[in-house]
Amino acid sequence: MSGIVGIHYLDGRPVDRENLTKMVDILAHRGPDGADTWVDGCVGLGHRMLWTTPESLFEKLPYCNQRGDLVITADARIDNRDELIAALQINNRPADKIADSELILAAYEKWGEDCPEHLLGDFAFAIWDERRQILFCARDHFGVKPFYYYSSNNTFVFGSEIKAILCLPQIPRCLNEARIADFLYPVMENKSITSYKDIFRLPPGHSLIVSKQNSIRLHSYWSLEIGEELRLNSDEEYAEAFRDIFTQAVRCRVRSAFPVSSHLSGGLDSSAVSCVARDILREQGSHLHTFSNIFDDVPECDERSYIYPVLKQGGFIPHYVSADKLGPLSEWQHFFQYIDEAFIGPSHFLLWGLNRATQQAGMRISLDGFDGDTTVSHGSAYFAELARQGNWTTFIEEGKAVSKHFDTSLSAIFREYGISYLEELAKHGKWLDFAKVVHQISQHFQVFPKKLFVSHGLKPLLPESLLQFHKWLRGEKSQFRNTSLINSNFAQKNHLNRRIQAEKIPASVREDQWLSLTCALFTHTLELVDQSSAAFSIESRHPFMDKRLIEFCLSVPPEQKLHQGWSRMIMRRAMNGILPQEIQWRGGKTSMSPNFRRGLLHLDRKILDEVVINNPTDIQEIVALESLHKSYREFISDKQMAEDHLMPVWKSVTLALWLRQTEIKP
């Protein structure tokens, strides 16, 4: 993790080095090991350095090639170094003296705009090509490394964080209301927009060329494809293949000139990363530092009963953080000093505490199990696949098995995947298929065909207003809807209803997994994790975000993801002998909701009252205050249904605090 910035004036104006220095300085937290700038007329590049890999100790950025006609600034960790060194025929010095940025620049010299296709790892970089008079920029496959930019007719500015771009006085500070509306609903499907109207993010897997002739040209150099299903001969072969690729992913990410740490929660993902990393570091004669949240005051959230079995295996240096001492919003000013948008998640403060402890222990590299759920896939959409196939026998067998291992029930699975498929058929007018499925369901479940037809054939076709009126006549209370949180004028002005699409029921496990891996929320969450780590001069590394691992997991058949009631079966088998059995065969996860709710109500109540009750002016044009007040009353009550109102309150308050901190007006 480093920081990069740059300016290119397309009208030929010279770059003011003082402005470039301001951009570099505001990113000091991203790189405490040095800073530098390079300026040549209308182009300027800057860099903040954080030493992490052995090669970075010799790296100087911005870096010029020998001819002086190519210059690069980069935030990168390249994992296929040996392959690139051989292909580029760099044999004039040892490999450990070749910086990752040099490899990228040499790749550009050889392959030009196709160079990102040859890179494996996490990267964001910009190259000034003097011969062609273009600025070439690229971002890694999943957006682990951030890249934001502003563009006008005569100005292009980029940075690792939005705050660097806003250092320039000519950059407008206008709220992107469409982005805010999407956040509140949420839609969050646009990968390019940010909370600032004229500032964009470079989408993952994309490159960008800035030139006087064409201004800006975006290009998708890679996209995740579902592709052909991988067929191996046995469960053991799948497990072995997973273990090999996963170990490669972890090994690439423990490449370091400093001690390595990991976040250990006691879950399957973080435990797998920690145990594999521990084994690799043992080979190198070192230990893995682990950082874990503990909850003495909220014991139902504490996972030490799962953390300790991992630590007992040895090879770890454990550290603990008392995560129940601060509320989710207790440090909100500190949050928004580093985080550029309002979209902090409910567990963000837990990550914040772990990163602070990691920095205080002298660490600068942290592994985690970020979104192993999505990469490996629980395979729950297998039930939708079985429903489409009419394979209700397997549907019931797997459903009953799942209910034994996880906190769910066969009826809940049936409602989500069996009934959802039925309603989907009705909405698309496929009545012959509808009748066939009704007949199949009635044979396997104790339900009458007539009831299925009325409840899940006719009702989904009726207007929402008519359904609500019908409920009112029967004295039924309407459930809270997210759309009611948004001020109606604000929603209409931003065409929210037009952008909202009906939720699609994936046809298969692989389609469901692909949708999750390619959605915009996936990238936005990675950016939040990056900023949360950068605030403490830490580089977060995510083994589950390895391109090879994701492509492999997406290719395996559904029974490798859900089998005999166990989700992520391929990973559980692969971790045999590596994980303690109580972790390997752990069913669900510990909910952090009790600590989150307690923190808001007992530690941050004054902040909530001040924003929601006393001074909601920052959000009154965005949020429907009557709806917010209703949600708040329900949330602070002791009613069980109050949990449904938690997120509307959380989103409204965090949005108000961010607007207050940034002083942006709707």
Model confidence at 465: pLDDT above 50? no
pLDDT in tens, 212-256: 877 899 999 999 999 999 999 999 999 999 999 999 999 999 999
CATH of residue 60: 3.60.20.10
Q: Which tokens hold the place of 623?
A: 């949020």
Model confidence at 439: pLDDT above 80? no
> 495 and 407 in one domain?
no
Q: Are strands 316-322 and 288-294 parallel, antiparallel or unpaired?
A: parallel
Q: How far is the C-alpha of 560 from the C-alpha of 377, rounded, in Å?
A: 10
Q: How far is the C-alpha of 42 from the C-alpha of 17, rounded, in Å?
A: 11
> 327 and 264 in one domain?
yes
> 184 and 326 in one domain?
no
> 153 and 184 in one domain?
yes
| 126 — pLDDT class (breaks 50, 70, 90) | very high
* Selection from 61, 223, 219 nearest residue 127 by Cα: 61
* Selection from 666, 659, 651 nearest residue 184 by Cα: 651
Let me know if residue 546 belongs to a domain: yes
> 367 and 259 in one domain?
yes
> 62 and 112 in one domain?
yes
* Selection from 546, 162, 470 nearest residue 337 by Cα: 162
> 627 and 496 in one domain?
yes
Let me know if residue 470 belongs to a domain: no
Catalogue the E-assigned strands of 187-257.
199-201, 206-211, 215-220
Residue 132 class from Cβ within 10 Å (0-12 exposed, 13-18 middle, 19+ buried)? middle
Say how many domains are in the chain.
Answer: 4
244 vs 188 pLDDT, higher one: 244
Q: How far is the C-alpha of 533 from the C-alpha of 473, rounded, in Å?
A: 53
Let me know if residue 660 belongs to a domain: yes
Let me know if residue 472 belongs to a domain: no
Model confidence at 640: pLDDT above 70? no
Let me know if residue 483 belongs to a domain: yes
Model confidence at 466: pLDDT above 50? no
Alpha helices in 185-303 (DSSP H): 235-253, 268-283
87 vs 469 pLDDT, higher one: 87
> 115 and 53 in one domain?
yes
pLDDT of residue 401: 84
> 417 and 351 in one domain?
no
> 493 and 528 in one domain?
no
Residue type, 561: K
Phi, psi of 262 (to 5 degrees): -145, 155
> 120 and 215 in one domain?
yes
Q: Which tokens hold the place of 154?
A: 């005569």
Percent of the chain at pLDDT above 90? 70
pLDDT in tens, 335-389: 999 999 998 889 999 999 999 999 999 999 999 999 999 999 988 888 878 877 7
Let me know if residue 467 belongs to a domain: no
Domain with 431, as residue range(s), is 382-461
Model confidence at 494: pLDDT above 60? yes
pLDDT of residue 416: 72
| 46 — pLDDT class (breaks 50, 70, 90) | very high
* Selection from 624, 644, 625, 622 nearest residue 635 by Cα: 644
> 643 and 627 in one domain?
yes
296-300, 341-345, 444-448: segment of lowest average pLDDT: 444-448
SS3 566: strand
* Cα angle 487, 488, 489; round to 5: 95
Q: Which tokens hold the place of 254?
A: 């423990």
Let me know if residue 599 belongs to a domain: no
| 482 — pLDDT class (breaks 50, 70, 90) | very low
Let me know if residue 466 belongs to a domain: no
